[in-house]
Structure 1
Amino acid sequence: MQRTPEPELMDAPEQASAYAAADFSAGDQALVDRMGLLFPSGLGPRVLDLGCGPGNISFRLAQAYPDAEVIGLDGAASMLQLAERRLEQEQDLAERLSFVGVCLPSADLPKGCSGLVSNSLLHHLHDPLVLWLAIAQAAAPGARVYVKDLRRPPSPEAAEQLRERYLADAPAVLQHDYVASLHAAFTAAEVEQQLQVSGLEMLQVAEVDDRYLEIWGQLP
């Protein structure tokens, strides 16, 4: 099926509350564990989480890499408010974990990042090159990159089957957003073309399970 873009920002209060209340802990931890396998020497001293939402991955990165500074970046103020509220309760991380409100593209990205992570941001972007160019802009030489996102199914019927398989019991707002995200996602071939255009052709692209793409590698 053809791609149908969705809104770039998830800034409605009901969206932020629903995502913050949902239990994504197993998937979030699996993502951090996966990075540990791909990059056994770590992500370096400065890690940027692009599209951090309420900070679920950012907090786990800060816990997993106690010697690293972690920066969570998102354009949705309602999401960042939830992240900041949680950070107030976890003061032991406050010196190493911070959140910034930035919409891509931007000249105000943190620079010199040794690790660049993004989970479920790519499909939100109307222009996908925005993410890859932001990674190139923020990365230090030799930076490690890990991106995970949904991949677009072949038909609307397949998208509905995935919703029923994985979110049948979820709140209506999450189910609606999930189907919209599947329609807005990219295929592996499309992502490979994006990487070629943005000069990041050294990154690898793989299909994972029945609904994800995984993009990873180390920059020169």
Structure 2
Amino acid sequence: MSVAVMMHLLRERLYWRKRTRVPEPNLVMQSETQTESFARAGQEGGALAFLYLYHAVQITSVLQPGDRVLDLACGPANQLLQIARLNPQVHFVGLDASSTMLQCAQNTLAQAHIHNVELVQGDMTRLVRQEDASMDGVICTMSLHHLPDHAALCTTLREVRRVLKPQGRFYLTDFGRLKLLRTQRFFADDLRQSTQFTEDYFNSLRAAFSVEELSAAVAPLGSDVQRHVTVLAPFLVVFKSAFQRPMDPPTLQRAKEAFAKLSATHQDNFRSMASWFRVSGYALPCELD
């Protein structure tokens, strides 16, 4: 972790005043320019590739072969692609409200020859195509901040509880709301991406719910919910089921191969993210190098 990052995190830790949430200007990303910039950042070699692999490895530990798993707000499916590759015996349903995103996702999956994913258009606050207790798992990565308000967040989590089987498992992660505007701007600028992506990322950080708001919304999922927050500041928050499956040798090999494909810089970023969570008590289920 760089000195600059550490300094921003320490300022966050010491600052006492909470920041008001600012919802995103575009709650559903239909713009082709926005979609393309976001998709590029998540591709192999893109700025978010290391983060997607980190979440894919953590998500794998709550899944089992034969599961049917719903991915809320799958976007261009770069994250879902990573998860589906690690778990070829799991069937995934990727849901997104944006037709533009879903077209991009279809192309992403087709080019990668991924066949264990189906895509559906829908609103994650109203899972009208999913029946009660029909899913073994629900995942949502970096998308809850797209919701307009806390009421919509609570409605979404009640829907998650409805579609999950009684012993269903989940992994939900998003930004936590930072207190300083300059910290939000620093993390957006630090990725050194296009102007469009940088602005969208900044808007996402401003739209993040607080850890307290997220925790209250997740409460209906039961008493075995585990919460993990990056140390010093809630840059990222994870809520997951207590269930954890040991990673079998074939899956571990696939994860190691994915890690080896990352650039040296992204491998370092992956290690930094793993360490940031590990210090707060949330370790990876396996070592990849």
Would you call these one fold, judging by a TM-score over 0.5?
yes
The aligned counterpart of 1:214 is 238
Q: Does 1:99 align with 2:113?
A: no
On the 8 A contact 2:76/2:101 being kept in 1, the answer is yes
Aligned mates of 1:89, 1:63 — CA distance in 2:
13
Alpha-carbon displacement from aligned partner over 1:39-89 (angstroms, at most 9, x marks no partner):
3x6375101111100011222222111211111110011111011123333
**CA RMSD across the alignment:** 2.0
Write 1 or 2 for the structure with the bigger share of strand. Answer: 1
Out of 37, 40, 44, the residue aligned to residue 21 of structure 1 is: 40
> Which of 22, 35, 57 is the matching residue for 1:4?
22
Match of 2:168 in 1: 143
Which of the numbers 160, 176, 184 marks the counterpart of 2:207? 184
* Pair 1:42-2:64 in alignment: yes
- Residue among 50, 54, 73 paired with 2:76: 54
Name the stretch that deviates more: 208-217 or 77-86: 208-217
Q: Check whether the contact 1:58–1:71 (CA below 8 A) recurs between aligned residues.
A: no
1:193 to partner: Cα distance: 1.6
Match of residue 154 from structure 2? 129
Larger deviation: 144-153 or 4-13? 4-13
Alignment length, in residue pairs?
Answer: 212
- The aligned residue for residue 92 of structure 2 is 70
Q: Aligned partners of 2:237, 2:137: CA distance in 1, in Å?
A: 19
Say if 1:148 and 1:214, in contact at 8 Å, map to a contact too.
yes
Unaligned runs of at least 5 residues, structure 2: 1-18, 244-289
Counterpart amino acid of residue 58 in structure 2: R
Which residue of the partner structure matches residue 86 of structure 1? 108
Kindly indicate whether the alpha-carbon contact (under 8 Å) linking 1:71 and 1:100 is maintained by their aligned counterparts in 2: yes
Letter in 2 for 1:130: T
Larger Rg: 1 or 2?
Answer: 2
Distance 1:214 1:173 in 2: 27
1:194 alignment partner in structure 2: 217
Aligned to 1:108: 128
CA–CA distance in structure 1, aligned partners of residues 178 and 58 of structure 2: 23
Secondary structure of the 2:177 match is coil
What secondary structure sits across from 1:128 in the alignment? helix
The separation in 1 between residues aligned to 2:215 and 2:153, in whole angstroms, is 12
Q: Which amino acid aligns with 2:22?
A: T
Identity of aligned residues (%): 23
TM-score by structure 2 length? 0.68
Does the aligned pair in 2 maintain the 1:43–1:115 contact within 8 Å?
no
Normalising by the residue count of structure 1, what TM-score does the alignment of the two structures yield? Answer: 0.87
Task: Give the structure 2 partner of residue 173 of structure 1.
Answer: 196
Q: Distance in 2 between matches of 1:181 and 1:49?
A: 19
Residue in structure 1 matched with residue 263 of structure 2 by the alignment: none
Tell me, in whole angstroms, the C-alpha distance in 2 between the residues paired with 1:87 and 1:160. 32
Q: Deviations over 1:160-189 (max 9, x none)?
A: 22223x32x210111111111111101211
Matching residue of 1:205: 227
Deviation at 1:201, TM superposition (A): 4.9
Q: Spell out structure 1 runs of 4+ moving beyond 6 A.
A: none
Q: Is the 8 A contact 1:61 1:70 kept in 2?
A: no
